[in-house]
Amino acid sequence: MPVIEINGGNVVYEILGDSGQLIVLTPGGRFGMDFRGVRPLAEALVAGGHRVLLWDRPNCGASDVQFFGPSESHMRAETLANLLRALGTGPVVLAGGSGGARDSMITAIEYPDLVTKLVLWNIVGGIPGLFTLSWVYIMPTISALRAKGIEGVLKVPEWKQRIEANPKNRERLLALDEAEFTRLMYRWLNAYVPQAGQTIAGLPDDRLADIHVPTRIIRGGAADPDHPKRTSLEVSCLIPGAEVVDPPWREDAWEANLKAQGRGEDVGIFDPWVLAAPTILEFVDRA
């Protein structure tokens, strides 16, 4: 895979296709571009006549770990902007689900010259969703720091995975100043604290009015506590001119797949995403 240095860390990326508009596809979680369900959607968009940029965000996949900015999504937005400029792509379509939706919104706000259209789905919000973010992304690391310092962080499952995918990440983690890293983790944690006037983690509601590109939102499922329908509708009211479409998957697809995984079935939480290809393509192709 091609690798490029951005902000002192290597970022792994891949461009699929050779014609059409460039769509940046950003998944959620701390999942890389080869996480199950991501590439099938990318390939469907390429089959629809467009190019797709897949990338391992910092702290995801085989890219280097990095730690800066007011939130992890702000860090990733800055990284993506610098990646696009380094590649000389010109303005692109941003398409992101779950955490990738948050990363994409912040990119569109902070770097409007790089974005032509925005497609969002599985937008995280609500108290259960935000508490889940803090529990998944931040609290295991803070607990490890408090108990065993940086050496303890190396044993946190997510960071172990990053080291397995990219052995250099071990030395990058060990080189962190414990006090400064702890301070940053608490700052990132604060982004996930439910607050009035902040529908999206770490992003004041009034900033969503700074998105001035055509935006399509595939609304959250009525039975999805992590990506609730209500959050999608609230975001659509805050982004000028945003349009909302119904999800092309079951209203309880997220919960159903989580439960199926719990039963040991061979399913992935992003498996339904390929069903979004037609609505993304229709929106991208619209004049």
**pLDDT digits 0-9 by tens, 64-110:** 999 999 999 999 999 999 999 999 999 999 999 999 999 999 999 99
**pLDDT digits 0-9 by tens, 214-236:** 999 999 999 999 999 999 999 99
Angle at 100 (CA atoms; ends 253, 123), nearest 5 degrees: 50
Angle at 36 (CA atoms; ends 32, 41), nearest 5 degrees: 90
**Cα torsion angle, 30, 198, 41, 86, sign:** negative
**pLDDT digits 0-9 by tens, 160-207:** 999 999 999 999 999 999 999 999 999 999 999 999 999 999 999 999
Mean pLDDT of 262-274: 96
Distance CA(255)–CA(275), nearest Å, equals 17
Distance CA(41)–CA(27), nearest Å, equals 11
Which tokens hold the place of 196? 């009035």
Distance CA(174)–CA(182), nearest Å, equals 13
**pLDDT digits 0-9 by tens, 48-61:** 999 999 999 999 99
Burial class for 95, CB neighbours closer than 10 Å (0-12, 13-18, 19+): buried
**pLDDT digits 0-9 by tens, 107-152:** 999 999 999 999 999 999 999 999 999 999 999 999 999 999 999 9
Of 238, 215, 243, 19, nearest in space to 117 by CA: 215
Which tokens hold the place of 206? 């009034």
Quick one: CA torsion of 213, 214, 220, 221, rounded to 10 degrees?
A: -170
- pLDDT value of residue 211: 98
Distance CA(135)–CA(279), nearest Å, equals 32
- pLDDT value of residue 205: 98
- What pairs with residue 9 in β-bridges? 6
Confidence of residue 253 (pLDDT cuts 50, 70, 90): very high
Distance CA(3)–CA(119), nearest Å, equals 26
* In the predicted structure, residue 62 carries a pLDDT above the cut 90: yes
Quick one: CA torsion of 199, 219, 102, 264, rounded to 10 degrees?
A: 110
Mean pLDDT of 267-278: 97
Contact 74, 187 (CB under 8 A): no
- What pairs with residue 23 in β-bridges? 52, 93
Of 60, 96, 77, nearest in space to 7 by CA: 77
Confidence of residue 287 (pLDDT cuts 50, 70, 90): confident
- Cα dist from 62 to 33, 161, 275, whole Å: 9, 9, 27
**pLDDT digits 0-9 by tens, 16-32:** 999 999 999 999 999 99
- Cα dist from 187 to 67, 93, 138, 177, whole Å: 11, 30, 10, 15
Tally Cβ neighbours within 10 Å of residue 252.
14
